[in-house]
Amino acid sequence: MAETTGAEGKRAERPLSPHLQIYRIQMTSVSSILTRITGNGLIIGVMLAVWWLLAAATSDRYFAVANAVVTGWFGNVVFFLSLLGVWYHYLAGLRHLYFDAGHGLDIKTAELLGWVCVVGSFVLTIITLNVI
């Protein structure tokens, strides 16, 4: 805590910076962080797909190993999360285009659009998996 002196000379104890006792995590910052995480996380799915394709072009034995990983539980998890990441990243991109046009910049709308991105990405992922 830091002591500050006001206009009347009274000392008040105030925190040096916001901390978890008084700081509430905002949806706008969470959605920004998720956009970065999903963008970087998609690299793992792309690398797995490229490895699978390279293995197919290399040899039958090497492809069998890669195919076992890609079609196993690990590949299913990576590709499910990649699909979720693609949809989230897509919706977040639309959200940013809306912001760039000067719309939805008030806090209430920005938080609502953040939730739309999260919920929408799960809904679109489930729809995509049921169509495929």
The whole model's pTM is what?
Answer: 0.80
Do residues 11 and 90 make contact, with C-beta atoms less than 8 angstroms apart? no
Residues 64, 52: Cα–Cα separation, whole Å: 9
Q: 42 with 82: CB under 8 angstroms?
A: yes
Q: Which domains does the chain have, with CATH numbers?
A: 29-131 (1.20.1300.10)
Task: Report which secondary-structure segment, H or E, holds 11.
Answer: strand 11-14
Nearest residue to 70 via CA among 44, 91, 33:
44
Please report, for the chain, how many H helices and E strands are present, in that order.
4, 2
pLDDT at 7: 62
- pLDDT at res. 24: 79
The Cα–Cα gap between 17 and 23 comes to: 10
Q: Is the dihedral of CA 13, 19, 20, 25 positive or negative?
A: positive
pLDDT digits (tens, 9 = 90+) for 66-110: 999 999 999 999 999 999 999 999 999 999 999 999 999 999 999
